[in-house]
Amino acid sequence: MLIKRRPAIPPSEITPAGIYARRRELLRAAGVLAAAGAGGLLSGIAAAQAQKGPAEKLPPFRKSSFSTNEKPNSFKDVSSYNNYYEFGTNKTDPAENAHALKVRPWTVVVEGDVRKPRTFGIEDLLKFPLEERIYRMRCVEAWSMVIPWVGFEFNQLARLVEPTGKAKFVEFVTALQNDTMPGVRLPILKWPYTEGLRIDEAMHPLTILSVGLYDQMLPNQNGAPVRLVVPWKYGFKSGKSIVRIRFVETQPKIAWEIAAPHEYGFYSNVNPDVDHPRWSQKTEKRLPAFFANRKTELFNGYGDQVASLYAGMDLKKFY
């Protein structure tokens, strides 16, 4: 007899409460998603065909001593199960819709409290010394993967622009393409998506800007052509498709904090002792597993490297 098991986290709990309460409004607006790509069912076919095209290979890179020894997830796992709300709220929506994202030409403006503001093209970013970082990545929804990112330490870029003494935080602004991103037509988040780190978090050697996955350029659904990766924080802190970086004096408001401040805080460190208001964070499921039967580690297992950043802080208050 086939027994249906209830998922560890119901879909209604994965979406912030305020957004879920407006689900009928979202459903009425969701017709715009069908217009993405080739439209309706054809969008999935077009996306699948696009993914079969030749992958753009990365320049040479080296292995990193910061990598975990855990087995990475497959490329299929990493590129087909994603959170990228600009392309839809279901985990498969980004892989179906993000083929439309325009990734060339691409520039990243770096500005704010810096002595040498600068604009980097993607070609400039690919000239940084690249290395593979196999990181554990934990989502606030209690699932995790092990992902082989390829990129460079953010601090290398920051040193080129020379932050001033006023720079206490770094704000990351992601792309807003109304013609390619069906999700931005829905009242889910304040667009464009913004994230932020304290400057010592941003300058930590574990914080990288990723331009690749395995041996190829980032797939669109994973945040092409450049994204932030902060492995000791929940995944939404790692903003995708970055177009602007600002060094600022005051703590920036981040997208999910604006949308649901009682559920998502600025720091968002992985912490099994701080539950999400609607579910526990004590366990996680390592995809493709079905059950959340792994114990969640403080700072996602990177405590030896980053715990000193939060010495003396109340991590339940600064969640």
Res. 4: pLDDT tops 70 = no
Tell whether 317 is covered by a domain: no
Do the Cβ atoms of 90 and 83 come closer than 8 Å? no
Q: How many CB atoms are located within 10 Å of the residue 24 CB?
A: 8
**Long-range pairs of 19-26 with CB within 8 A, sequence gap ≥ 24:** 19/188, 19/259, 19/260, 22/187, 25/187, 26/186, 26/187, 26/188
Write the pLDDT tens digit of every residue in 80-134: 999 999 999 999 999 999 999 999 999 999 999 999 999 999 999 999 999 999 9
Q: What is the dihedral of CA 177, 183, 185, 191, to 10 degrees?
A: -60
> What is the model's pLDDT at position 297?
98
User: Residue range 270-277: average pLDDT?
Assistant: 96
Is residue 215 within 8 Å of residue 131, measured between CB atoms?
A: no
Give the C-alpha separation, 3 to 13, whole Å: 23
What pTM was computed for the model?
0.86
Predicted confidence band of residue 11 (pLDDT cuts 50, 70, 90): very low
Q: Is the pLDDT of residue 29 over 50?
A: no
Assign residue 301 the CATH number of its domain: 3.90.420.10
pLDDT of residue 195 exceeding 70, the answer is: yes
* 186, burial (CB in 10 Å: exposed 0-12, middle 13-18, buried 19+): buried
CB 157 within 8 Å of CB 209: yes
- What integer pLDDT is reported at residue 187 of this predicted model? 87
Residue 101: Cβ within 10 Å count:
22
Q: Give the per-residue pLDDT at 55.
A: 82
| Residue at 54: amino acid letter | P
DSSP codes joined into one string, 156-205: HHHHHH-B-TT--EEEEEE---TTT-GGGGSTTSPSSPEEEEEHHHHTST
- pLDDT (0 to 100) of residue 16: 53
For residue 1, is it within any domain?
no
Using the predicted structure, report yes or no on whether residue 277 has a pLDDT greater than 70. Answer: yes
> CA–CA separation, 117 vs 300, rounded Å?
33
First to last CA, the chain: 44
DSSP states of 89-142: SSTTHHHHHGGG---SS-EEEEEESBSS-EEEEHHHHTTS--EEEEEEEE-TTS
User: pLDDT tens digits, residue range 60-85?
Assistant: 999 999 999 999 999 999 999 999 99
Q: Per-residue confidence at 20, pLDDT binned at 50, 70, 90?
A: very low
Kindly state the percentage of the chain with pLDDT values over 90.
82
Q: Is 319 a member of any domain?
A: no
Considering its fold, how many domains does the chain have in total? 1
Residue with tokens 């460190």: 269
Residue 294 lies in a domain: yes
CB 100 within 8 A of CB 46: no
Interior/surface letters 63-83, b for 16+ CB within 10 angstroms, e for the rest: ebebbbeeebbebeebbbbbb
305: which residues sit within 8 A by CB, 6+ positions away? 204, 206, 232
Domain-embedded: residue 70? yes
Residue 282, in any domain of the structure: yes
Its domain, for residue 154, covers 11-310
| Residue 242 counted as domain residue | yes
Q: Please check whether residue 225 lies inside any domain of the structure.
A: yes
